[in-house]
Amino acid sequence: MKADCILQKLRLKEIPTLPRILEKLNKLTIKALSDLSVSDEIKSFFPNLTQKTVSFVEGEKGMHQKKRVGVLFSGGQAAGGHNVIIGLFDALKKLHPDSELFGFLGGPSGLIKNQFIQLDKGLLSNYLNQGGFDLLGSGRTKISKEEQFVAVGKNVKELKLDGLVIIGGDDSNTNAAFLAEYFSLKKINTAVIGIPKTIDGDLKTDSIEISFGFDTASKTYSDIIGNIARDAISAKKYYYFVKLMGRTASHITLECAAQVHPNMAIISEEVKQEKKTLRSLIEEICELIRSRASLGLDYGLILIPEGLLEFIHDLSYSSLPTHLQTQFLEFRDPHGNLEVSKIDTERFLIELVKIEIDKQKIEGSFKGTFSPQPIFCGYEGRSCFPSLFDAKYTYALGHVASLLIHENLTGYMALVKDLTKNVENWQIGAVPLLSLMHMEMRQGQLRPVIKKAMVDLNGSLFQKFKEKRNEWKLKDDYQFKGPIQFYGPAELTDNLTLTLLEDKK
């Protein structure tokens, strides 16, 4: 594929600005480390890993060794992935010109099967600031079986890797921690470093301010939803039910709601906390439609997180209306449960709301019209050109990963911090993967896994949304963000997500 489009070519030429501290790459050394508290239970799974926090300070110009490093993508695409690899490559070469970088193909399975390519400047020059993970591909294979660990150990030893960088979400980074533990146990000198990736925004802690990809995805969706909102108030005849990515946490839905001001936005975490039933949720939507109809407004915009159904209290197959039981027969599992992950949430809700509204029409309590349109904001938000924020953030993350490998740190997540400041003032660091974990039931076993960050219902962003949402129900206040811009005034090209801004307040 040859890049023919103008934006593609222009973006290829622009090396992202680095934080000032990373400009002195070869003078950086580790500051005194201190222990983070990790439970004994979690520590028992990782006896060979440290729990020390890390930060960097400017020191004497050090001598850097030549390094051999591997890198791979794991899980779903997020904008900026290629810049992590290019940042890693550029930093490795700055620290030692003979260092080498290898990319494993198709995600973790490439690591198991030893499928890789060597990355060089020529090849990488086609990927700067470009979307997708297509340089290497990605995959969701989990390294869990003993023979997989053995194969991976053999491959990294053969390749003489000093470091392995895993660009992934919570599950992939949990896997990274187990790999780091295995390598340490087996005296394999390959440092394992994780990079926080996920458009869902649920890989987030006190130290990880945001995962990369969230900025671009939520802006891409906000643009689309804004267009849909403008269509709604223009034609005044459709109810748009917009489903947004986010199987677990509703960060994307909350961010887009805070940006676009829809008439309603459902937040899974709130549904769970308030133990909402399907019936009460449907009634809430119908109530919105009725109140708007009474003002002559037969249109609207409702945002729905993809994973909503999992959070509904007492959702079962038999609780559905008979008509829907037939329609959703294919989603009934052998135990009579509803396989919610297979259901198109927005279409499912539309069906249920329709039944209710039709009933109310016959009873005479609803006098408007109801024309719903399902929309899914999904795959188009994962592989787009990274926003300037994500482009710079990921390029810096790649640099940090290189530093960590040079310091022989293993089982760490690379960090870039103070992200609400100007890029020049961003800080860097690392946090042990252990410290991000909690114990969770997985396939009947209590296991240490990196904890997903859910929407904080006491957090500032949700609270602000809660204050405003009643106003937005009946009084349209749609906002139109427009498409991501790469040129023009900085207030336009470099604006931040409210999720990041409010968290940092």
* Cβ-contact 500, 208 below 8 angstroms: no
Site map for its own copies, 154-193, x if CB under 8 A?
A: ----------------------------------------
Q: Pick the binder of its own copies from 185, 231, 317, 464 (CB under 8 A).
A: 231
Structure tokens given for 155: 């491959």
Rounded to 5 degrees, what angle do the CA atoms 352, 357, 359 make?
100
Residues 35-94 binding its own copies (CB under 8 A) are 73, 76-77
Q: Specify whether the CB–CB gap between 381 and 251 falls below 8 A.
A: no
Min dist CB 82 to its own copies, Å, is 10
Q: Please say which residue, 184 or 216, places its beta carbon nearer to its own copies.
A: 216
Smallest distance from its own copies to CB 35, Å: 39
**Number of H helices and number of E strands within the chain?**
18, 15
Of residues 116, 127, 183, 238, which one binds its own copies by CB under 8 A? 238
Q: Which residues lie closer than 8 Å to 429 by C-beta, 6 or more apart? A: 53, 54, 55, 56, 207, 400, 415, 417
Site map 104..123 versus its own copies, x via CB under 8 A: --x-----------------
Bridge partners, 117 (sequence order): 103
Run of H or E including 9: helix 6-12
Could you write out the DSSP letters of every residue in 87-155?
Answer: HHHHHHHHH-TT-EEEEETTTHHHHHHT-EEEE-HHHHTTTTT--SSTTT--------SHHHHHHHHHH
CB 252 within 8 A of CB 200: yes
Indicate if 314 belongs to the active site. Answer: no
- In the complex with its own copies, the residue whose CB is nearer, 364 or 488, is 488
Residue closer to its own copies, measured from CB, 138 or 174 = 138
Q: Where are the alpha helices (DSSP H) in 311-387?
A: 322-327, 345-363
Applying CB under 8 A, does 352 fall inside the site for its own copies?
Answer: no
Taking the least distance from each CB to its own copies, the nearer of 56 and 116 is 116
Task: Give the residue from 225, 211, 227 showing the smallest Cα distance to 256.
Answer: 225
The CA distance from 108 to 355, in Å, is: 46
Please state the closest distance from residue 488 (CB atom) to its own copies, in A.
3
Three-class SS of residue 497? coil
Assess contact for 162 and 68: CB atoms under 8 A.
yes
Q: Interacting stretch for its own copies, rule CB under 8 A, among 163-171, 190-198, 218-226, 431-439?
A: 218-226
Active-site annotation holder among 90, 200, 202, 223: 200
Nearer to its own copies, 22 or 217 (CB): 217
Q: Which of 156-164, 177-185, 232-240, 334-342 is the region at the interface with its own copies (rule: CB under 8 A)?
A: 232-240
CB of 301 to its own copies, least distance (A): 11
Q: Name the 3-class secondary structure at 395.
A: helix
Applying CB under 8 A, which of residues 376, 439, 468, 474 lies at the interface with its own copies?
Answer: 376
- Rule CB under 8 A: say whether 456 interacts with its own copies: no
Q: How far is the CB of 378 from its own copies (least distance, A)?
A: 8
Distance of alpha carbon 351 from alpha carbon 307, whole angstroms: 17
Candidate list 207, 332, 485, 504; residue touching its own copies; CB under 8 A: 485
- Identity of the residue, 317 or 486, whose beta carbon is nearer to its own copies in the bound complex: 486
316 neighbors 291 (Cβ within 8 angstroms): no
469 is a contact residue toward its own copies (CB under 8 A): no
Sole window of 142-150, 196-204, 231-239, 413-421 interacting with its own copies (rule: CB under 8 A):
231-239
* Under rule CB under 8 A, residue 227 binds its own copies: yes
381 interacts with its own copies by CB under 8 A: yes
Helix (H) or strand (E) holding 73: strand 68-73
- Encoded one letter per residue, x for contact with its own copies by CB under 8 A and - for no contact, window 244-283 reads ---------------x------------------------
Residue window 121-160: x/- pattern of binding to its own copies, with contact defined by CB under 8 A: ---------xxxxx--xx----------------------
Kindly give the residue spans of alpha helices, DSSP state H, lying in 164-236.
Answer: 170-185, 214-235
Question: Which residue, 35 or 380, is less far from its own copies as judged by CB?
Answer: 380
Distances (CA, A) of 429 to 22, 52, 119, 145, 196: 11, 12, 26, 32, 13
Range in contact with its own copies (rule: CB under 8 A) among 118-126, 163-171, 353-361, 381-389: 381-389
Report the C-alpha gap between 109 and 386 in whole angstroms. Answer: 26
Q: What is the radius of gyration, based on Cα positions, of the chain?
A: 24
- Residue from 314, 380, 424, 471 touching its own copies (CB under 8 A): that is 380
User: Nearest-CA neighbor of 44 among 496, 417, 434, 378?
Assistant: 434
Examine residue 292 and tell whether it contacts its own copies (CB under 8 A): no
Residue 15 binds its own copies (CB under 8 A): no
Q: Which stretch binds its own copies (CB under 8 A): 17-25, 225-233, 349-357, 404-412?
A: 225-233
Q: Which residues of 284-294 are buried (b: 16+ CB within 10 A; e: fewer)?
A: ebbebbbebbe
Residues annotated as catalytic (active site), given as ranges: 200
Q: Which residues bind its own copies (CB under 8 A)?
A: 1-8, 10-11, 73, 76-77, 106, 130-134, 137-138, 220, 223-224, 226-228, 230-231, 233-236, 238, 240, 259, 373, 375-376, 379-385, 476-489, 491-492, 495
